[in-house]
Amino acid sequence: MHDISTHPVAHHAPPETFIRKYIFSLDHKVIGKQYYGLALVAVFIGMGLSWLMRLHLGWTNMSIPGLELLSKNGAPGGIMTPEYYLQLMTMHGTIMVFFVLTTAPFAAFGNFFLPIQVGAEDMPFPRFNMMSFWVTFVAFLVLMASFFAGDGPSLAGWTQYAPLSAVGAVAGPGQGLGEVLWASSIAIFCIGQLLGSLNFITTTLDMRTRGMSMMRLPLSAWAWFITSVMGLTAFAVLMPACILLILDHVAGTSFFVPGGLVLNDQLQPHSGGSTLLWQHLFWFFGHPEVYIAIIPGMGIVSHVLIANMRRPMLSHRVLIYSMAALGVLSYMVYGHHMFVSGMNPLSSLAFSFPTLIITIPSTIVVLIWIGSLYGSKLRINTASLFALGFISMFVSGGVSGFFLAQPSIDIILHATYFVVGHFHLVMAVAAIFGIFAGTYFWFPKMFGRMMNETLGKIHFWFSFVGAYCIFMPFHYLGIAGNVRRYQAFVDDFMQPLIPVHKFITVAALVTGAAQLIFLYNLIHSRWWGEPAPLNPWEATSLEWSTPTSPPPFDNFGGKHPVVYHDPYQYGVESSTGDYVMQDSPEKVQSALPEEA
């Protein structure tokens, strides 16, 4: 070797200064916590927005106290204007999908635990990792800025269909500056996620410790790996789409705006653009995005359940293959969002079948979960309650997919509250239950303290029952033809449905308020919680083998664990009890028969 010597790739000296330690930190654990914090801020903002929307929907044109302070234009006398409702709706969707459902289960937990679960001391490219968070943070600031810019944020919904999103201010308030800020924010966000995915994939492929074969990775690690591969492809498509959208705005190009459009009696200076082009580009990202939000939840929930069922899943491999199948199929089904978009009806059918097929891997995952409950020794605690709640929600939201997968039925359900109920249950609530399960399960490792179980259970009961009270009625509304994205229900046939909306609003307020219990529990336990043992759940995977909680700077205190077992050796006879750690060389007799 020569003077061109090297340093271990993932190794960087422990930081001294406060800034390097907590702000511009290279440590994947700190970055994970930063992501979690960002998601926490975002989720409460998003929830606040949904409260305002629900109040307005239940009691339209009621003066909401204090709303005028938020936006004088948007709510004169506290009465929400139609455009302000749509602006809040757009921001709710964007914040929740991008800055909560993508960042929390994937970026936050993934950053913290993926390197530990593969037995590495950090991600391979710590600087990229740091950048990925701060880029995401900037994206968030840019999005928030649109609240205060010009006449407010964009009102085009999180799907931002062209030409509404592309023609500019003529289309309505917020479609000028607010729209440009939206597109810029998302383009920046994409960069952050691409950097993150790059790290995740490389970590999984290259940083696995000795003896850690791919099949010995915990299901959570697998979920993050699959998600990062999807993120890499999906966000790489959304970014150029956003850039083209920005160009249509600021440079007068016509990528998405056709000719001959007349707004406010003025002929628009565009020609030839294709509005379907945006929909194709967007949904090619958009549908995988749904699975980017939910697959980490599946992994986390499996991980949590296994530890609390005291047994491995019926089949480790089948779960992995199913999640991978979901990931691959999600690219072939995006067209089911466009059944009535004027797309060739033949391609509607072509998209319909894979969309129906994708229910098979989903069903397998659910059956494996439920089948593994059989004959288990189920421990009930907040984490496992949320994990089980996830399964219930995922099933409830999943079955409505049967309807929307069929173009013929989509004719009557498209763009109704049925769709809203469907994706809120299967994507939003389920994913958030996954986040909760992960939080209650991993909190002791992340902060070295236990969360309060009693508060946790209260939080669970409100969330579980509340979520059903909110989102089940959405399906009924949709079947009755209640159209989504309406700020008021002026149509005769929607009048009788308003009481249902009032009920949903009340449920939403209560359920939302219950989330404050979680916030309190989180903050209180962080500093004053009962000190946590190293392995409170008697779990086996590597994150529970770290010498301290939270783990030291290099995770395993200068050592690198050597892996001798599959990740989930529960229900065995061992010196530690009914489980054996993944890195313990102890020979054990598994309680379960060999798996094919």
Partner 1 sequence: MNRWKVVAGTAVFLLVCGSSMMLTRNVSAAAEGKVTGTVKLDGTPPHQRPIDMSKEPSCQQQHAGKPVTTENVVAGPNGGLEWVTVYISEGLSAGAASATPSTPQKFDQRGCQYIPHVMAVDVNEHFQVTNSDQTSHNIHPQPKPGGGNHEWNKSQPPGSPPFDIAWTAEEVSIPVKCNIHPWMHGYHTVVKGPHAVTNADGTYTLENVPPGNYTLTAWQETYGTQTQKVTVAAGKPATADFTFKAK
Partner 2 sequence: MATTVHEPPQIKPSRSPGVGGHNGWRNLVPSDGDLRAVKDYSPPPASTGIWVGLAAISMTFAALTSALVVRQGSSDWRHLSLPAILYFNTLVLLASSVTLEMSRRQVATFMGGVGNQAVKPTRWLYLTLLLGLVFVAGQYAAWKQLSGQGVYLASNPSSSFFYVFTAAHALHVLGGLGGLIYVINKIKNSVLRRSTLDAASRYWHFMGVLWVYLLLLLWLKL
Partner 3 sequence: MPAKTGAGLKPEFVYEASMAKIFAITIVLIAIGSAIPIVLHTWYLPQDISTHGPLIDEQFSETMAEAGISFLAAQIILAAFIWIYSKPAAGTKIKTFPGGAMGLVIAAFLLVGTEVLALGAFGAKAWASVYFTPPAANALTIQSQAGQFAFYFRYPGPDGKFGQIHPELVNEGSQNFFGLDLDHDPAAKDDIVTAEMAVPVNREVHLLMHSKDLGHSFFVRELRIQQDFVPGLDVSVHFTANKTGKYEIVCTQLCGLGHYNMKAYLEVMSEADYETWLKQQATMQ
Of residues 450-509, those binding partner 1 (CB under 8 A): 488, 490
Pick one of partner 3, partner 1, partner 2, none as the site partner of residue 169 (Cβ within 5 to 8 A by kind).
partner 1
Residues 518-557 that bind partner 2 (CB under 8 A): 556
CB atoms within 10 A of CB 163: 21
Classify strands 266-267 and 577-579 as parallel, antiparallel or unpaired.
unpaired
Measured from the CB atom, the residue of 35 and 443 that comes closer to partner 3 is 443
Measured from the CB atom, the residue of 61 and 271 that comes closer to partner 2 is 271
Q: Which two tokens stand for residue 326?
A: 């979901």
Pick one of partner 1, partner 2, partner 3, none as the site partner of residue 210 (Cβ within 5 to 8 A by kind).
partner 2
Pick one of partner 3, partner 2, partner 1, none as the site partner of residue 254 (Cβ within 5 to 8 A by kind).
partner 2
The residue type at 377: K
Q: Which two tokens stand for residue 231?
A: 């993120």
Angle at 206 between CA 200 and CA 211, to 5 degrees: 115
- Euclidean distance between CA atoms 153 and 88, whole angstroms: 8
- Euclidean distance between CA atoms 62 and 147, whole angstroms: 22
Measured from the CB atom, the residue of 144 and 320 that comes closer to partner 3 is 320
Pick one of partner 2, partner 1, partner 3, none as the site partner of residue 498 (Cβ within 5 to 8 A by kind).
none
Sole binder of partner 1 in the list 55, 64, 138, 169 (CB under 8 A)? 169
Residues 215-274 that bind partner 1 (CB under 8 A): 264-266
Sole binder of partner 1 in the list 31, 35, 39, 83 (CB under 8 A)? 83
All residues at 6 or more sequence positions from 15 whose CB lies less than 8 Å from its CB, including other chains: 21, 25, 26, 27
Residues 225-284 that bind partner 2 (CB under 8 A): 232-233, 236-237, 239-241, 243-244, 247, 251-255, 258-259, 271-274, 276-277, 280-281, 284
- Nearest approach in angstroms of CB 79 to partner 3 is 14
Window 75-114: contact mask with partner 2 (x via CB under 8 A): ----------------------------------------
Beta bridge mates, 531: 449
Sole binder of partner 1 in the list 82, 258, 371, 571 (CB under 8 A)? 82
Residues 62-81 that bind partner 1 (CB under 8 A): 63, 73, 76-77, 79-81
Angstrom distances, CA of residue 387 to CA of 275, 422, 427, 439, 440 = 41, 19, 14, 11, 10
Sole binder of partner 1 in the list 93, 124, 173, 297 (CB under 8 A)? 173
Tokens 């939000």, located at residue: 293
Q: Report CA 132 to chain centroid distance, whole Å.
A: 16
Angstrom distances, CA of residue 227 to CA of 146, 275, 552 = 29, 29, 27
Sole binder of partner 2 in the list 79, 145, 201, 349 (CB under 8 A)? 201
- Euclidean distance between CA atoms 35 and 121, whole angstroms: 19
Beta bridge mates, 449: 531
Torsion 208-211-215-220 (CA) sign: negative
Q: Per CB under 8 A, which region of 99-107, 196-204, 260-268, 357-365 contacts partner 2? A: 196-204
Query: Residues interacting with partner 1, by CB under 8 A?
Result: 61, 63, 73, 76-77, 79-84, 151, 169, 172-173, 264-266, 488, 490
